[in-house]
Amino acid sequence: MRDLSAPRKVATLREVAEAAGVSIATVSKVVNGRFEGMTASTRERVEAAVRELAYRPNRAGRSLRSARQSRIGMLIVDPSPRFLVDPFITNLVAGISNEVSMRGYGLLLSRIDPEEPESSYIVKGQEADALAVLLSGTAPEREHLLARLAELRHPMVVFQQAMPGGVEDVCTVRQDDVGGARQMARRILERRPSRALCLLPRQRWPAIEARLQGFEEVLAPAGVTLSQLRCDEGDMEGALDALREHLAAGPLPDVIIGTNDRLAVVAVEVLQAMGHKVPEDVGVSGFNAFPFTTPLRPRLATVRSPAYRLGELGARLLIERIEQGAFATRETVVPVELVEGESL
Amino acid sequence: MRDLSAPRKVATLREVAEAAGVSIATVSKVVNGRFEGMTASTRERVEAAVRELAYRPNRAGRSLRSARQSRIGMLIVDPSPRFLVDPFITNLVAGISNEVSMRGYGLLLSRIDPEEPESSYIVKGQEADALAVLLSGTAPEREHLLARLAELRHPMVVFQQAMPGGVEDVCTVRQDDVGGARQMARRILERRPSRALCLLPRQRWPAIEARLQGFEEVLAPAGVTLSQLRCDEGDMEGALDALREHLAAGPLPDVIIGTNDRLAVVAVEVLQAMGHKVPEDVGVSGFNAFPFTTPLRPRLATVRSPAYRLGELGARLLIERIEQGAFATRETVVPVELVEGESL
DNA sequence: ATGAAAGCGCTAACAC
DNA sequence: GTGTTAGCGCTTTCAT
């Protein structure tokens, strides 16, 4: 029986060269598709040997020599170990993953602790050529973390937030949260509400703050009283209770604004359980709808998120940056789309 | 302005050694925590230089030398680019990701095309020390793919399916789908149904087949007629239509068995829209419930999936395999838990 | 207690 | 057209 603990033996350039009766330089050229001025017979002999020995280039050797890892690192700052449950993150990562694969790169995925980013595998060694990052936390917390990440001197794409100051070789990609919120707010105004309640997750995300800003910009001047309730998304039942209590304590709002769909579903749930009709008594709006994830009924008035596209775009920008030497764009904002629904 | 295309310059062992006035061998020892028989002052001088120069070991150099990548590759065979939308996959990957990070490894994530697994980044080079794989497709398709993956001679953990024959250095980790389905079937029998409809996704997954088997094993002997309907999960509206048509065409079943929660939600939706009461007229059951993902109302009778744990477990087994030289276990089955709900 | 040196697999500049 | 060779950064053995 073969010793399983020994690293399996894989053919090297040298072995292929020997088998084909050529030098390793020639094999290297063949493997890398540089056939200029090479006999067809040499090429064929080498290709045969490559196939014969099932040769696959050793990435470590290649990377060491070329100082290129052909890997993108994705860092997600989220306090929850279940970070991937968030459909925005999930769609974003899917977009990045597919784009990166298509272009021959690998994707390293890691959630990181905002307190000690250096402890991350991706950050510790020089594992990736470039970084894609999604940050949560307050503005100063994010700024601080970005500054530390910038010390790695990797090109970076930062998702879902505006261009940070003081860091170079960075590019941002985000959806138009402010614009989407403004649009939704205008739609809400058609109900002529006098008070609105905005439901926010406890964890701070720049995109959520942007949405809040958009809602305020439109609703406040129209004389709508906008109150806020933060609840822990990580605990749906807890969120239900928190909202129930809040509603019991004061006058019923005319509309409840979920800053994401999950919170909007909670709102519909609580309202119906309390005997209020949606949308007759209270309107409900959501945000960030995704294919296959959005609840079926009542169809939520919400905003479609282009998270998957953001991922593709960010990955593309990053790889172009690596290969061309500079970012083509510094800031990308992708429009969002209002989705009508009977909840409003 | 610095030339951004040039690979950023990071301190090397040699530079740290010069700065500390020692040899690179000594620096290497310090960096790797091998202090035996080393002067405190030497160690301190080196540590100071490491800090000063912000030294981080180059992974390529290290990997080349040690033939260890300290990376786990996760391969997911799923025809959909949105593969990460599936909450099972998402929870599984989260578990793997966190476990792997904790143990100082990196996670390479990639969806692969079952037709040409060799085209995957992870597979092409020797990127990872070991592979975690989740396969879809029919049994022969999966077997064929596994055989090709086995040629890479990587230790592998295969999730959600039974031990494949003919491959060595493999270990399986799965939830008890058959058992869960049997339990749910017994719960369903309490309704004394005469006909049941089983809703299946179009894409073949071994876990789904296992559930189907569990349901059949219990329902058929009890005289329940079990029919099947496959519908495309990738298109919720399409699934709604398909089920609506199916129900209109024949007698109403007493219970609809969703082989996952998404399909169960579709069933509830269609039934209610057709004016049938759930659970009075028709009972509905789901499968694979996850925290924060499961729909709120009506509370689904379903089965809780330990996907996150499966991920942690698989990652742990893989890393122990890498470090100890052999798998501690070959086959792990994690029990599932029935969740009561008013849908049944 | 510390250092010198070999060599992991690969690419590319240059020699023939 | 093809081969020789230096060297990327690191770990480890063996001298001293």
CB contact under 8 A, A94 and B107: no
Domain that holds residue B120: 66-174+308-334
Q: Poorest-confidence range of A242-251, B187-196, B232-241?
A: B232-241
Based on the number of CB atoms within 10 Å of its own CB, is B6 exposed (0-12), middle (13-18) or buried (19 or more)? Answer: exposed
Q: Are residues A296 and A200 in the same domain?
A: yes
CB contact under 8 A, B85 and A291: yes
CB contact under 8 A, A107 and B104: no
Q: Are residues B134 and B182 in the same domain?
A: no
Amino acid at A13: L
Question: In angstroms, how far is C11 C1' from A263 CA?
Answer: 54
Residues A214 and A178: beta-carbon distance below 8 Å: yes
Q: Are residues A50 and A165 in the same domain?
A: no
Name the one residue in this structure whose structure tokens are 């122990």: B320
Amino acid at A258: G
Indicate the length of chain B as a whole number. 344
Residues in B 183-242 with any Cβ partner in A closer than 8 A: 233-234, 236, 240
Closest protein residue to C7 (Cα–C1'): B65
Residue A168, domain member (yes or no):
yes
Q: Are residues A227 and A137 in the same domain?
A: no
Report the pLDDT value the prediction gives residue A236, as an integer from 0 to 100: 83
Report the pLDDT value the prediction gives residue B8, as an integer from 0 to 100: 53
Report the pLDDT value the prediction gives residue A6, as an integer from 0 to 100: 45
Per-residue pLDDT tens over the stretch A47-78? 999 999 999 999 999 999 999 999 999 999 99
Closest CA to B120 of B92, B95, B93, B149: B149
Q: Are residues B234 and B298 in the same domain?
A: yes
Q: Stretch B143-169: mean pLDDT, rounded?
A: 92
Q: Stretch B165-191: mean pLDDT, rounded?
A: 96
Task: Provide, rounded to the nearest whole percent, the portion of chain B with pLDDT above 90.
Answer: 84
How does DSSP classify residue B289?
B
Whether A174 has its CB under 8 Å from any CB of chain B: the answer is no
Q: Are residues A144 and A111 in the same domain?
A: yes
B14 touches strand C (CB under 7 A): no
Residues of A in contact with B56 (CB under 8 A): 124-126
Q: Is the pLDDT of residue A122 over 90?
A: no
Per-residue pLDDT tens over the stretch A319-343? 999 999 999 999 999 999 999 999 9
Q: Are residues B24 and B105 in the same domain?
A: no
Share the mean pLDDT of chain A.
93
Residue A6, domain member (yes or no):
no
A59, A83, A155: residue with CB nearest B126: A59
Residues 6+ apart with CB under 8 A from A229: A197, A198, A199, A200, A242, A243, A246
Tally of domains in chain A: 3
- Helix extents (H) in chain A: 13-20, 24-31, 40-53, 59-66, 87-102, 121-124, 139-150, 177-189, 206-219, 236-249, 261-273, 307-324
B61, B68, B127: residue with CB nearest A59: B127
Share the mean pLDDT of chain B.
93
Q: Are residues A261 and A113 in the same domain?
A: no
Q: Is A283 helix (H, G, I), strand (E, B) or coil?
A: strand
Residues in A 242-271 with any Cβ partner in B closer than 8 A: 262, 265-266, 269
Question: In angstroms, how far is C15 C1' from A23 CA?
Answer: 14
Alpha carbons within 13 angstroms on the beta-carbon side of residue B245 total 9
Give the C-alpha distances (Å, rounded to integers) separating A173 from A204, A261, A306, A323.
Answer: 18, 22, 11, 19
* Chain B residue closest in CA terms to A238: B292
Residue A287, domain member (yes or no):
yes
Residues A196 and A254: beta-carbon distance below 8 Å: yes
Question: In angstroms, how far is D3 C1' from A42 CA?
Answer: 13
Report the pLDDT value the prediction gives residue A2, as an integer from 0 to 100: 37
Confidence of residue A9 (pLDDT cuts 50, 70, 90): confident
Per-residue pLDDT tens over the stretch A253-296? 999 999 999 999 999 999 999 999 999 999 999 999 998 777 77
CB contact under 8 A, B8 and A57: no
Q: Stretch B17-27: mean pLDDT, rounded?
A: 96
Q: Is B112 helix (H, G, I), strand (E, B) or coil?
A: strand
The Cα–Cα gap between B207 and B179 comes to: 11
Q: Are residues B186 and B218 in the same domain?
A: yes
B42 touches strand C (CB under 7 A): yes
Question: In angstroms, how far is D15 C1' from B192 CA?
Answer: 84
Report the pLDDT value the prediction gives residue A270, as an integer from 0 to 100: 95
* Chain B residue closest in CA terms to A295: B295
B67 touches strand C (CB under 7 A): yes
B98, B105, B297: residue with CB nearest A81: B98
The Cα–Cα gap between A194 and A226 comes to: 9
CA dihedral sign, ordered A159, A164, A166, A171:
positive
Residues with CB under 7 A from strand D: A 21-26, 37-39, 41-43, 61, 64-65, 67; B 12-14, 24-25, 28-29, 31-32, 57-58, 60-62, 64-66
CB contact under 8 A, A70 and B106: no
Report the pLDDT value the prediction gives residue A234, as an integer from 0 to 100: 78
Q: Tell me the CATH number at A19.
A: 1.10.260.40
Report the pLDDT value the prediction gives residue A237, as an integer from 0 to 100: 86
The Cα–Cα gap between B98 and B88 comes to: 16
List the Cα angle B295/B298/B299 in 5-degree steps: 65
CB contact under 8 A, A151 and B54: yes
Confidence of residue A4 (pLDDT cuts 50, 70, 90): very low
Q: Is the pLDDT of residue B234 over 50?
A: yes
Q: Stretch A159-171: mean pLDDT, rounded?
A: 92
Closest protein residue to D5 (Cα–C1'): A25
Report the pLDDT value the prediction gives residue A292, as an integer from 0 to 100: 77
Q: Is the pLDDT of residue A5 over 80?
A: no
Residues A175 and A160: beta-carbon distance below 8 Å: yes
Q: Tell me the CATH number at A156.
A: 3.40.50.2300
Q: Are residues B128 and B38 in the same domain?
A: no
Q: Are residues B112 and B49 in the same domain?
A: no
Give the C-alpha distances (Å, rounded to integers) separating B57 from A5, B14, B36.
Answer: 25, 11, 20
Report the pLDDT value the prediction gives residue A116, as an integer from 0 to 100: 79
Alpha carbons within 13 angstroms on the beta-carbon side of residue A121 total 23
Q: Stretch B237-259: mean pLDDT, rounded?
A: 95
Q: Stretch A126-140: mean pLDDT, rounded?
A: 95
Report the pLDDT value the prediction gives residue A1, as an integer from 0 to 100: 35
Residues of A in contact with B106 (CB under 8 A): 108, 110, 121-122, 127
Residue B124, domain member (yes or no):
yes
Q: Are residues B40 and B112 in the same domain?
A: no
Residue A80, domain member (yes or no):
yes
Q: Is the pLDDT of residue B162 over 90?
A: yes
CA distance B216 to chain A (A): 28
Q: Is the pLDDT of residue B1 over 90?
A: no
Residue B8, domain member (yes or no):
no
Report the pLDDT value the prediction gives residue A145, as an integer from 0 to 100: 92
Q: B109, B293, B330: which to substitute to probe chain A, counting the most A Cβ within 10 Å?
A: B109
Residue B106, domain member (yes or no):
yes
Residue A298, domain member (yes or no):
yes
CB contact under 8 A, B90 and A84: yes
DSSP, residue by residue, B42-72: HHHHHHHHHHHTT----HHHHHHHHS---EE
State the greatest distance between any 2 C-alpha atoms of chain A, in Å, as a whole number: 86
The Cα–Cα gap between B202 and B233 comes to: 7
CB contact under 8 A, B62 and A5: no
Report the pLDDT value the prediction gives residue A113, as an integer from 0 to 100: 83
